[in-house]
Amino acid sequence: MSKSIVAVVGRPNVGKSTFFNKVAGKRISIVEDTPGVTRDRIYAEAEWLGNSFTLIDTGGIEPFSKDIILQQMRLQAELAIETADVIIFMVDGREGITAADYEVANMLRKSNRPTLLVVNKIETKKLESNIFEFYNLGLGDPIAISAKQGLGLGDLLDEVVKLFPKDKKTQENEDRLRIAVIGKPNAGKSTLINKLLGEERVIVSHIAGTTRDAIDTPFQYNGENYILIDTAGIRRKSRIRENVEKYSVIRSFTGIERSDVCLLMIDAQEGVTEQDTKIAGYAHEEGKAIIIIVNKWDLIEKDSKTMDQFRKEIREKLSFMSYAPILFISAKTGQRIHKIMELVDYVSNQHSMRISTGMLNEIIGEAILLNQPPADKGKRLNILYATQASVKPPTFILFVNDINLMHFSYQRYIENQIRKSFGFEGTPIRFIIRQKND
């Protein structure tokens, strides 16, 4: 199930960024007393009462401004509103209602999105009476908070999670394997999807960033049901010129979150870029099954060593996902396209593979005999017992005598031995290390 999106909107300097940083639990937005400091919409993962959601901090909306930057901030906020499942409309309880607040309220009413009216900067009992004038905005009961002091945030978040949409996906769609096609703009994602679907379902253009949203397309292959998620191209922040592309980044990340398998598309002409590494890292951290697709292979001048050299470069630059299979294709000509779905099924099975506890402990026991665990000050690491906790991604709990003795290098050695015995190709593996008395 995809995470709900919560957008914090309002005119400049009402305390949106302070609130955002409190809820996100870390200082992400720049906080200054100058209106208009938050120009880029910034987002973070947050959680309340077991509900994970994406929180978007927007630049302040100045409805009447002719200033170009403020107009762009307004566009960003509008796009965040369009994207959000729940909107927090923040106003300044010390300053009272302004003409700009009325304009923003009108904009929110037209959006038909669930909206909570939040009156910030109510630090004392004396200021509480200030909230009543905000009933004039016609957006229901105002909720008083002080973002700076953390007052009333729990009650507000209780109301936020109540408004999260129930999962609308049908059981039929829930049972389908979800494949996200990810990568930076113009890598050929839409062309590949059209090839896989056998029809022009997604608009294809040579202008980078054409796909503005994550588009879900159900389809069948060899009698099995799938959903293809065409994510908008993700660009480096310095190259994001249009506000619409900033908005598309959120959809791309939520597309990755909703998927089972990610097809990471790399442009063969450009090679592995820093942005490819960041996108791959996000999918890896989310624990998704991954296939690396090198597209536009037909445009590369080749000799007998070209493919091996390219493969080596990928392994060096994406060293954290040495488990991911690499496939060289041309989405345009259809070269090796038929192998993609076979690989998707294969890595999906690896992603959800479960190993019996007996077999797992046998392999780890053999690994320990081959390579003794590390020791420190005369005390040696002892792996007492192992069990698989979950799948998608495969997650193993290792019970040890002393958690401080488990070095990263030895954990990687254990992972390599598990992969050598069972495969787990195309999927990250996670470990939870526990001390025997935990």
Q: Which of 124, 145, 162 is the last residue of a domain?
A: 162
CATH of the domain at 392: 3.30.300.20
Look-up of token digits 């010129």: 241
As a whole number of angstroms, the distance between CA 206 and CA 53 comes to 34
Residues 135 and 192 in one domain: no
Instruction: Evaluate whether 284 touches 320 at the Cβ level (below 8 Å).
Output: yes
Binding positions for GTP are 10-17, 57-61, 120-123, 183-190, 230-234, 295-298
pLDDT of residue 135: 94
Per-residue model confidence as pLDDT tens digits over 393-410: 999 999 999 999 999 999
Q: In the chain, what's the furthest Cα-to-Cα distance?
A: 79
Same-domain status, 337 and 256: yes
Strand partners, 131: none
Question: For the chain, what percent of residues have pLDDT higher than 70?
Answer: 79
Domain with 267 in it: what CATH number? 3.40.50.300
Domain range spanning residue 427? 357-435
- Lowest-pLDDT range, 141-155, 160-174, 331-345? 160-174
The pLDDT assigned to 154 comes to: 92
- How much is the CA Rg of the chain, to the nearest whole Å? 25
pLDDT of residue 35: 43
Among 170-179, 238-247, 336-345, 418-427, which stretch is predicted with the lowest mean pLDDT?
238-247
Element (H, E) at 280: helix 274-285
Q: Are residues 231 and 119 in the same domain?
A: no
Identify the band that residue 29 occupies on the pLDDT scale cut at 50, 70 and 90: very low
**pLDDT (0 to 100) of residue 47:** 85
Q: Which of 162, 193, 217 is the last residue of a domain?
A: 162
Q: What share of the chain is helix, strand, coil (3-state, %, to 5)?
A: 40, 25, 40
> Is 142 in the same domain as 252?
no
Residue 204 has pLDDT above 60, yes or no: no
Q: Give tens-digit pLDDT for 207-236.
A: 544 444 556 778 888 888 898 887 755 544
When pLDDT is cut at 50, 70 and 90, the band that residue 390 belongs to is very high
* Bridge partners for 291 per DSSP: 263
Per the CB < 8 A criterion, the answer to whether 126 and 94 are in contact is no
Examine the domain organization and report whether 431 and 289 are in the same domain: no
Q: How far apart are CA 184 and CA 239, in angstroms?
A: 11
Tokens 């799938």 belong to residue? 226
Mean pLDDT of 200-206: 53
| 129 shares its domain with 255 | no
CB contact at 8 A, 163 and 113: no
CA dist list (Å): 11 to 58, 114, 271, 290, 314: 10, 19, 43, 42, 46
Per-residue pLDDT at 85 exceeds 80:
yes
Same domain, 335 and 400: no
pLDDT above 60 (res 137):
yes
201 and 334, same domain (yes or no): yes
Mean pLDDT across the stretch 186-206?
73
User: Are 118 and 247 in the same domain?
Assistant: no
| Same domain, yes or no: 347 and 361 | no
Decide which of 162, 184, 219 is a domain's last residue. Answer: 162
On whether both 217 and 136 belong to a single domain, the answer is no
Task: Compute CA distances 195 → 198, 228, 330, 350, whole Å.
Answer: 5, 12, 10, 25
Residues 295 and 311 in one domain: yes
Residues 6+ apart with CB under 8 A from 11: 60, 61, 62, 91, 98, 100, 101, 104
For position 236, what pLDDT does the model report?
Answer: 47
How many domains in the chain?
3
Binding-site residues, in ranges, read: 10-17, 57-61, 120-123, 183-190, 230-234, 295-298
